[in-house]
Amino acid sequence: MDVTELHPAGLKLIRPRVFGDGRGFFLETWREERYAAAGMPGPFVQDNWSRSRRGTLRGLHFQRRFPQGKLVYVMAGEVFDVAVDVRRGSDTFGQWHGAHLTADNRCQFYIPPGFAHGFVVLSEAADFVYKCTEVYHADDEAGVRWDDPRIAIDWPLEGAPVLSVRDVALPTLAELDAEVLPVT
């Protein structure tokens, strides 16, 4: 596998080795010792799969007391995936990185604990899979507005995104109480 270190520090883009022929292809989506050696130690304790339609934007979400590291990829379709550093005290606080993840490029995006995460669907639909280093705690979830002007994410949107009621009501970074942010 080929691993590219990204900015802010800790983010990684992974290109797994793909074995293909006329029948199709094969690739490993996870092997503990290889990923740990590349700086993604886990342990991963929960897997999630979501399907969303074009224009759906999910995020930007994080957990306060139980931050999740995530290894994400797309099984069908295309998304623009974003991680924002929300670690209190971080030198790169509020900075973001986005990655185009598709079923065709088979890239994975590693997001360490302490980052807010979100994505927008660019294809008709997308199946999005992620491994998490912490289980989901509904009472611990927090988030930041997808269009926070301080973060200024350059979302590749055509028109207004499709948002959940919860995501519409998320605060900006400036509106968040610093105590809810994960610590570096």
pLDDT tens per residue, range 119-157:
999 999 999 999 999 999 999 999 999 999 999 999 999
Please confirm whether the linkage preceding 8 is cis (ω < 30° from 0): yes
Distance from chain centroid for Cα 36: 18
- Is 130 assigned a catalytic role? yes
CATH superfamily placement of domain 2-18+25-180: Jelly Rolls (2.60.120.10)
Give dist(CA 61, CA 51) in Å, integer.
Answer: 17
Residue with tokens 């759906």: 56
Tell me the pTM: 0.93
Which of 61, 100, 110, 136 is labelled catalytic? 61
Which of 35, 100, 130, 136 is labelled catalytic? 130
**Annotated domain spans of the chain:** 2-18+25-180
Check: CB of residue 170 under 8 Å from CB of residue 116.
Answer: no
- Is 100 assigned a catalytic role? no
Tell me the pLDDT tens digit for each residue of 81-133: 999 999 999 999 999 999 999 999 999 999 999 999 999 999 999 999 999 99
